[in-house]
Amino acid sequence: MSERNLIDGPLQPFSLIPPLTIREAWVQASSYLSASGVEDAGHHAELLLRHALTWERVTYLMRMQDEFPAASHESYREMIQRRGRGEPTQYIIGEAYFYGLSFRVTPDVLIPRPETELLVEAVLEEAERLWGRTASIRAADVGTGSGAIACALASERSSWHVRAVDISAAALRVARSNAQQLGVVERLEWLEGDLLLPLEGIELDVLVSNPPYIPDEDRAGLMREVRDYEPHTALFGGEDGLEPYRRMMAMLPRLASLPRIVAFELGRGQAQDVAALVREAGYPHIRIVNDLAGIERHVLGILD
């Protein structure tokens, strides 16, 4: 990918000229990121600045008129330049938040998205309706990535045992480290393999998955942060984006029995097709959950 300034041609190196205050460093970085095509540039400049200074936001706000420490110039300059090239802030700082929890993220895993929190909420709601809050539930998170869904479920329900499945050994290492950091590692199990294959013969109550669902033809139109930095094996779902759902529905008979809840995240315009696949797999009750933008984002199949 060529480095282009969306306003003035070739992207120039970012530099800070001391002496300057914390606020002045933020202003310069915000301007550079905005010219580099970064949306919400001020927010990203602040996150990276606080990371360079190892400050919480309250400290940052209270000390914006302080002199920017020379010892932090080079680290901040490098981070802003990386962000200007399109690298996501979460990869640069190595952290993302999901469901109120802090997750380590690397280029081996997708960055958790806020809309996926609604999938976790929907699964917990349906499970509580079927079994109550304290039942011992056997769940699986297929395509776990950073472990965001699996760890959130285990964190919210101490009586759940969650199997975290991913085809990537590197992703499973990241997920396991997050489970350890969050104190839920004893309630999770790690399985490496393709979709439901590692779950053959296993009895599950809940199956949840945020699989690759972007159609192959949409690759060129993705934001550079996604297209050029996030793992493609976790992004693209075949010609129409639905291949992982078809394959998982075909694999369901490999389980010991049908889970009473299956729940999937999906892309814009895919909800009705995925709902039909889930219904054909034996689920009479279908629930579709919209995200905060009103897009049909999640499909749940339920056996009462």
Give the type of residue at 28.
Q
Residues 6 or more apart whose CB falls under 8 angstroms from that of 144 comprise 150, 164, 165, 166, 171, 172, 175
Among candidate residues 205, 208, 121, 131, the one with its CA nearest the CA of residue 164 = 208
Whole-number Å distance between alpha carbons of 13 and 3: 10
| Dihedral angle over CA of 160, 304, 166, 98, nearest 10 | -60
Residues paired with residue 285 on neighbouring β-strands, in sequence order: 302
Of 284, 241, 289, 242, the closest CA to residue 261 belongs to: 284
Q: Is position 145 annotated in a ligand binding site?
A: yes
Whether 212 has a binding-site annotation, put simply, is yes
Query: Rounded to whole angstroms, how far apart are CA atoms 83 and 37?
Result: 10
| Token reading at 157 | 């329900």
| Euclidean distance between CA atoms 1 and 119, whole angstroms | 34
Q: Give the span between the Cα atoms of 26 and 42, in whole angstroms.
A: 8
- H or E element that contains 296: strand 296-302
Q: How many CA atoms lie within 13 A of 102 on its CB side?
A: 4
Largest pairwise CA distance in the chain: 67
Does the annotation flag 146 for ligand binding?
Answer: yes
147 appears as a binding residue in the annotation = yes
Q: How far apart are CA 193 and CA 164, in angstroms?
A: 10
Residue 210 annotated as binding site:
yes
Binding residues: 143-147, 166, 210-213
- What residues are designated binding site for S-adenosyl-L-methionine? 143-147, 166, 210
Can you say which residues are annotated as belonging to the binding site for substrate?
A: 210-213
